[in-house]
Amino acid sequence: MLDDLKGKGLLIHHWDTDGITSAKLLIEKLGKKIVVNKTPILGNYFLTAEEIEECKGFDFIIVADMSLPKENILKLNEQTNKVLIFDHHLGEVIKEVFHHNPIIKGENPDLFPSASWIVNDYLNNDINLFSILGIIGDHEEKIKKNPKFKDIIDNYCKNNNLKFEDLHKMVYLLDSNYKIGDKKAVENAPLFLLENDRPDDILRNKTWNENYDNLNKEMEKQLKIPEEKIDSILLKKISTPYNIISTITRKVAWETGKNTIVINTGYFDDKDQLYVRSTKTAEPMIKRGKELGLKCGGKKEVLGAIVPKNMTDSFVNEIIDYLKK
């Protein structure tokens, strides 16, 4: 499919490590056919009307590691000859385009832990640093509970004189670009990795290390805010201009083992960021969010959403009721 693509292409990718490494692998494969790579407005799980307008004029469009709303995809499909999606999030198969997502086709999510792994597998590449970094970006230490991928990562580290902690640090450095809100740096990251593909190139990046230090200070500040306990659920409210809600949620949920809901009121002026990590499947919550007209998505245990401030409390209450059952 990729070998048949002609003309100039646009690549839209998620802003985190998994999205960045997926983009790197795709650009490496397609070379100069990808003339632009971009990420949506940081924090948005959708494209605005203005962003969709900017997607005109390309012969093909690839979306990597993003479950964009169906209406976004269909609009893009009207504007180009071909749309291709490589993803691992929950959603529906969009039959009008090439949609490669084993998870929504019924495959075991444990066998497809990241978009980078799915892309790398589709390309028939050997296991490499970037296929692995996407996995660790999405699962961190928890991937060690997945026997197949624990062995894959252990073997990769052994063969390349690396430790798991080195890979973990690389993820945090790559993620630092979106967490500080630097969209251009996110979009430049896949291009940087094309020319700087050694672990030390990432680990010694001066700007990313400065970001990392500043973000750690903000994380410590926000983690000190106590959570409200509702049965077996932890509800945490933060206010920060940094895009760290997923990291905060993950840290609280994994350290406590409890259902965790985090609301960030400080990222958008008129909307709240909402993130949930659940011990139950998140699919009904994601479906409900979409029924309410919210921009949301996620995986089997995760929901991320952008919610108008006047709807946050009611949607959170629905999530709490679901988690209590």
Of 176, 206, 236, which residue sits at a domain end?
206
Asked whether residue 28 falls in the same domain as residue 140, the answer is yes
Residue 309 belongs to a domain with what CATH number? 3.10.310.30
For range 126-136, the mean pLDDT:
98
Using pLDDT thresholds of 50, 70 and 90, give the confidence band for residue 3: confident
Closest to 171 in 3D by CA, of 155, 153, 151: 153
Q: Which amino acid is at 267?
A: Y
**Predicted structure pTM score:** 0.86
Give the pLDDT score at 1: 81
Contact criterion met (CB below 8 Å) for 237 and 265? yes
For range 101-115, the mean pLDDT:
95
Residue 20 belongs to a domain with what CATH number? 3.90.1640.30
For 132-172, how does the pLDDT look when each residue is reduced to its tens digit (9 = 90+)? 999 999 999 999 999 999 999 999 999 999 999 999 999 99
Please spell the DSSP secondary structure of 37-94, one letter per residue. Answer: EE-PSTT-SS--HHHHHHTTT-SEEEEES----HHHHHHHHHHSSEEEEE--SSS---
Percent of the chain with pLDDT over 90: 95
User: Does residue 300 have a pLDDT over 90?
Assistant: no
For 195-220, how does the pLDDT look when each residue is reduced to its tens digit (9 = 90+)? 999 999 999 999 999 999 999 999 99
Task: Report the number of distinct structural domains present in the chain.
Answer: 2
User: Does residue 123 have a pLDDT over 90?
Assistant: yes
Asked whether residue 301 falls in the same domain as residue 175, the answer is no
